[in-house]
Structure 1
Amino acid sequence: MPRRVRPRSVTVTALAAAGLLSAANGALTGVGSAAPGPAVPPDTQASASVSVHCPFADPLGPRALTVETTATLPAQAKTGTSATIGAYSAKLGLPRDVALSLLPAGATTGSLRGAVQLDLTVQQDDRSDKVPVSLVVAPTPLPETGDVVLTATGAVPDIAINTVGAVTVTVTAPTLTLEAVPAPDAPAPTTAPPKVACTLDEGQQATLGKILVLPKTAPKAEQQQSAAPGEVTAQDEPPANEYTQPLGLVTILTTSTIQKLGATVVSPPALLMNGFISINLDTGDSSISGASVFSPVSTTFLGFGFVPVTATVEFLPVDYRNSKIIEVTGQLYTDDVTGLPSLRTSLEVYARMSHAEINGVPLDLGPDCMTKESVKLKLSGPYEAFGSGHITTDPDGFVLPGFTGCGTNGQDLNPLLEGMSSGGGNRAVVDTFNLVGCDTPDPAQCPEGSQPPAPGSQNPAAKKAVTKPR
């Protein structure tokens, strides 16, 4: 059991988003190309049962077989190190008439041997690679009656995983190469046994299991600056004794209110990608890592209090020219008044406006209608890493800066937007929810807690803050 430590302070940073690849080779995986992985939690037992069709030669024809795969998968791995899949075996039942056809003519007893070739698909989001696996079928005698059960075993090449997040391992259809075991005095065969390439039946689950890939180094270590010769830096210190735990599936609901417009911008639900909490077992300090991208949202408001305006608003990171991943830093603390675990965080984003209409008439803002400066947000409130969070701006709110780059064909629309919206006293609310996983394609069959609450509904964290005495 992992050691449980009460977190005292938290630094929140954003990892690269899921699917970003290693700068070394741009590949999701490599075979046998990395050093053995560090110590990780115990391996997990994984299994998959799939149905396939195998086109045996006439007069046998195509046959339906079931392939049962078992293996041990590492629970975790680190980027830049290898993941080893062990105890790999594939068991299949071969129909008796097919088995007899492989024996010498007229024989009713004997043994079969051979090989099974297949690929493992290693996938994260839209990135995937194939790992070839060669298995051997040891000599297996035919039973007196019924089908013969063949078991193929072998080693899976070490898989070097170069990206952070959950990696899914999926089985594929095998290619069978089977033959009868010759008698000791029989002449050597002059032809190779035929290969039978099976195909996977559609519409079935072929996932063997998942491996959680963690960053190789802690975010703090990555941010250390080079020191002058002879100067002692944090890099010279021994590595922290850390325990890392994934946060699971976390959704984020963001609401911003612009005082001057009297408008509320409710962003679509966003997911926290690669969310982890790391606890320093020596000091009790904790860090949370994650990344999120917010989709553009259309909003309607009254400009200057009477002009109906519709526009698309998008929140972008400071480095929006190179990435849409928003980074944030903060501290986890216990509120002195409510006694609740809380989060104090700072955030910088740019606001971009587009697709505007005034009184239903399109207003071309151009592609680069942005705030002149980043919007600086300071938020705090009740927050539980494995529950829900409800963090808001302080009573003074935040300032929406002026705009730049708004307008086309010589039009300068910056003063118009500034007059309508720029100023202080604005408010932002960020609600976070840890969701229950659901594998079924029908949302109606998912367990309670697998979907985020509707926007505007009461967040449990906010409810706790209200009911706690101040």
Structure 2
Amino acid sequence: MNAIGKRTGLRARRSVRVASVASAALVAGLLSGSGSQADEQPPPEVELAYECLIPAAAGSDATAAPEKLATTVKVATQLPRTAVTGRPIQVGPVQLEAVLPRAGLADLLPAGDELTSQATLGVDVRQNKDKANATWSGLDGRATMPAEGENLVLPYTGDVPSVTVNSPGDIELLASDLALTVTPSSGAPVTVTCSPGKDTDPLLARVAVPGGDATEPGGSASSSTAPGEGSDESRDGVTVTPKDEPKADEVTCGPRPTGERDISQTPKPPRPEEGGAADGFAGCAYAMGLATVRKQNGSMIINDPSKTPGLMNVSGAIYNAWVTDPDTGAYFWSRYDSLGELNLPDADSTFLSFGFTPVSAKVAFDNGLVTISTGSTYYGEGSYAVVTFFQTIRIRSAKVNGVPLPVGANCRTEKPFRVTLRASINRDGSGTYTNVLFGGLLTGKVDIPAFTGCGTGGENLNPLFTASISGPDNQIAMNQAPVCSPEYGFGCPPVKATLPPIKLP
């Protein structure tokens, strides 16, 4: 982080640590219900041991064998728990993280250089005695080569092919060879080839395909497709369909947000800061997550990826601030501010009010401008990410045990309430969040105010909603996908984030 404050231009803008721009979606489902889709199927995440061959550095013995490094690879994706025959199974988007020993690449990748990288993971799809290859290529990522520490962390994300099977039986996805091409900003590309370790279980995920007549999740009979129809590869009844390529002229992001920053929730500098406004960058990103209503002891999906989720527009790194050490002149405190803006669609939710009465509601959200700040505090400490804004919840309609409840046209929280999410960014590249370009997980708790304006015809429903929903310690977790920036031509079109791999208390 300290080196970032000294850079200018696009290179600095791409490497700053800016917190999640998509976190304004965090209370899209505060009227939650237990037994939700989020609780039923969290995204699987596996950790695999790989061995990677590192090419020799220029000037070294050309006859020497390539160095072999032990590497940890984490893979996460979203899959249904069950599927039906003849219907595509959508896989992803996929998030992959490769953790390589920094020392093994120090002669090839200059310290402090920005890295662009692509990953290709071989995936075997098996069902009964049938199999096919569903290579996951085109996974993109960016990172910075650390000058110190033990590891280089390379995060990737991207869309991958869907899979279709034509008979019942469990489907298994198994990881095989991995290729990483890493290009520093001031050097030649480095290609790292990896294979699963000898004792590694390569299973990425398993999906059940029940026997009998194929039915849709709702119970109606599904239409089947002939093996290989509309696909590039079909082997023994397992069909892999290539992902759709985006159109080159596709517009992905909305207007760039403008307004005043709110840095009231960020760590304070030890003395007056230096710095000022910067050009920054424009982009957009998706974020999906979970929210709880503490009184209802239930969680639900925020910004549901299976519907039409809202997209956050962002104006990134528009203000840079720092403090220097008076003795050395080195940067040892910094902050980078961005703005986000998101208009969420109405959300449908169902919960058991007071533990026994089913209540469903359609909820709208009035979101204020989002301030996104990240930075580092002092030498030796990790970095932080803080997202804060104000929000009002409006209840459009409600039903109690299936009977419409007349909530009126102005049922809402009596005042806007502050939402603040935080994440850690460690110096070694670990932590819950990477930066605004790559995303990650942010969490926080909100205090929902009492409700007002609820009811019609003289009936006052404010106490009902206040008793059911309002109160402190309503926890939220948001997982942000990488940013798409049409301005600089990376990450587009934006991909949907996976749901957080946690169950909220």
Q: Which has the larger radius of gyration?
A: 1
Q: TM-score, normalised by structure 2?
A: 0.39
Higher relative contact order (CA 8 A, sep 6+): 2
